[in-house]
Amino acid sequence: MAMRILSLNVWGGKLHAPLIPYLVEADADVLCLQEVVRSPETTSDWLLYRDGDVELPQRANLFDEINSALPDHDGYFCPTSRGELHDGNRMVHAEFGLATFVRKSLPVIGQALDFVHGQFSPDGWGEHPRPRNAHCLRLFDYDGGFAITIAQMHGLRTADGKGDTPERQAQAGALERLVRRVWPGDERLIVCGDFNVLPDSATFGTLGKLGLFDLVTGRGHTDTRTSYYGKSGRFADYMLATPDVEVVGFDVVEQPEVSDHRALLLDLR
């Protein structure tokens, strides 16, 4: 039986109505999610993020909702920062970061979590480019009889686009080192997420030292964004694999649209 891995920037749950059913129906064994929100201070469904002229609805307790929708999975929430969001006329604290969900039949036999840019910001969202982290898990597949290492990252964002910068080069090096802390070097490896870089980025040269190749560009996909994203530069999300990964199927999912990013869906043996 193939293992299924899903990677998706969930956009703070803005498209909550189709998002939750999709995550359930995708029936992934491992879900690597970026831009997840959690706010224990409120029971409201929605909060509002404001930054200059940007306003973005945020699902107040998206992590908990996904966790409830996936009872057969263990959830790991990995925040990068805690800041304030608007809850009607008052402000409440919310955490923002990564979430990883692993089917309970797949034991976690190793893991590492660390920052690849900056450090945890407890008193605000942080200065741009804001803190970013990565989460790396080593799992054992009883059915397949193999161990596999899976890492995800949400790459830093800058106002001037997705080109290479010293910060992005340092981020790639930090991700490589994090993976090496968990991955023994002689088994399947998957690295995925919203990297916020272009396909010609030096990031891929750094990750290539791990033997990784990109399935998005390598299989001819030219767009990882949905109709909700109106800017140019349609690449952001990637999924990389080592040659020992047997790709049973791979898709950059066009429909349904559950974010301004498309989901990446990999079936492997």
Nearest residue to 266 (alpha-carbon basis) of 30, 22, 33: 30
Q: What is the pLDDT of residues 39-65, one digit of tens each?
A: 999 999 999 999 888 899 999 999 999
What's residue 208's pLDDT? 98
User: Which residue ranges make up each domain of the chain?
Assistant: 3-268
Q: Given CATH 3.30.450.40, say whether it is the number of domain 3-268.
A: no
| Confidence band for 224, pLDDT divided at 50, 70 and 90 | very high
For residue 73, pLDDT over 90 is answered with yes
Q: What is the pLDDT of residues 164-217, one digit of tens each?
A: 999 999 999 999 999 999 999 999 999 999 999 999 999 999 999 999 999 999
d(CA 95, CA 39): 6
What's residue 47's pLDDT? 98
pTM of this structure: 0.98
d(CA 208, CA 114): 20
Nearest residue to 115 (alpha-carbon basis) of 155, 160, 84, 166: 155
For residue 109, pLDDT over 90 is answered with yes
